[in-house]
């Protein structure tokens, strides 16, 4: 949703220009009163589209008007009302908090076919099922557009189905069956590590989207969680929680997580180690990309490696 560009980094209290700024990534950024950032502009535009920033111009500055709009949105969405835009509010703005299961039984038993361009309850049912499986992170609107088609294709690919973007009986049957990751749960650590690297490389070039956790766009931790989940390994959502949930190793092996300290103290960015000093991650400028751990930006910010 919101793109991020790192302009500066604070070191020992001095404001210095960050080297290799094009590769820098802020991880999971939170927006709050007092910030001035391009992400705030996009937030204001999104609030306006939802009717919570009416008659105001997007300025990129998070002031009292923006906070008031955020609070009003949070209140109507039934989430914590604190005027701060974190993961919960981002998910709600993207529609993740709405219509969790419009008609589970109807979609489970549906035997027809839904395809691009269709509209109606059958599409809503499909979107709800995809959302429950983690393949659709947007509003359930009953419109089978490009986002829904991409989600269907991704689900089909993950379940060994014919990848045609059309939801027919076979796809609906798989949606109503077991979790997509269950078939991977018995894989060895070595196989999972090899698998996650292969999976991650499939998404090179996918754009950076703040709060993104699908192939339509990823943020730092959203990409890692998605790739490991497809390899049958469950990870928490944020970089900090990933750091706490994994085990330290003296040096990284292929498939391990490598962590960096960027815009704040502690782990705030991470990637998957590929070997030979390379790692794959989501960059704010390049999206999913491969970088060298030895370059002048990442090397001094390296915190350590963890085994999943």
Which sequence positions are flagged as catalytic?
220, 269, 281
CA 125/CA 141 separation, integer angstroms? 10
Give, to the nearest 10 degrees, the angle between helix 38-49 and helix 64-77.
Answer: 50
Q: Are 302 and 277 in contact (CB under 8 A)?
A: no
Pairing relationship of beta strands 269-275 and 278-283 according to DSSP bridges: antiparallel
CA 299/CA 195 separation, integer angstroms? 26
Task: Give residue for tokens 């709060």.
Answer: 211
CA 89/CA 83 separation, integer angstroms? 9
Cα 144 to the center of its chain, rounded Å:
21
CA 13/CA 304 separation, integer angstroms? 24
Task: Give residue for tokens 């990409």.
Answer: 223
Enter the DSSP assignment of 12.
Answer: T
Report the alpha-carbon angle 55-99-225, nearest 5: 95
**Which string of DSSP letters, residue by residue, matches 46-96?**
HHHHTTSSTT----SB--HHHHHHHHHHHHHHTS--SS-B-HHHHHHHTTT
- Residue (of 105, 111, 145) closest to 125 by Cα position: 105
């Amino acid at each position: 949703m919101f793109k991020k560009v790192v302009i500066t980094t604070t070191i020992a209290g001095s404001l210095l220009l960050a080297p290799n700024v094009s590769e820098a990534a802020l991880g999971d950024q939170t927006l709050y009163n007092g910030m001035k950032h391009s992400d705030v502009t996009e937030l204001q535009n999104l609030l306006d589209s939802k009717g919570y920033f009416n008659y105001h111009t997007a300025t990129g500055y998070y002031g009292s008007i923006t906070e008031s709009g955020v609070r009003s949105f949070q209140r109507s969405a039934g989430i914590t009302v604190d005027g701060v835009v974190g993961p919960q509010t981002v998910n709600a703005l993207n529609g993740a908090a709405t219509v969790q299961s419009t008609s589970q039984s109807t979609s489970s038993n549906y035997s027809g076919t839904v395809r691009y361009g269709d509209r109606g309850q059958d599409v809503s049912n499909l979107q709800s099922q995809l959302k429950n499986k983690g393949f659709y992170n947007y509003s359930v609107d009953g419109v089978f557009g490009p986002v829904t088609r991409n989600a269907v294709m991704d689900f089909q690919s993950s379940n060994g189905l014919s990848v045609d973007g059309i939801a027919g009986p076979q796809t609906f049957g798989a949606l109503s069956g077991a979790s997509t990751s269950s078939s991977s749960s018995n894989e060895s650590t070595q196989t999972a590590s090899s698998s996650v690297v292969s999976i991650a490389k499939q998404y090179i070039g996918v754009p950076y989207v703040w709060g993104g956790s699908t192939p339509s766009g990823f943020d730092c931790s959203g990409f890692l969680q998605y790739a490991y989940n497809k390899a049958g390994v469950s990870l928490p959502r944020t970089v900090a929680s990933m750091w706490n949930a994994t085990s330290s190793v003296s040096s990284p092996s292929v498939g391990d997580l490598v962590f960096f300290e960027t815009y704040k103290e502690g782990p705030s960015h991470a990637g998957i180690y590929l070997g030979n000093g390379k790692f794959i991650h989501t960059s704010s400028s390049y999206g999913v990309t491969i970088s060298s751990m030895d370059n002048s930006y990442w090397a001094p910010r390296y915190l350590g490696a963890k085994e999943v």
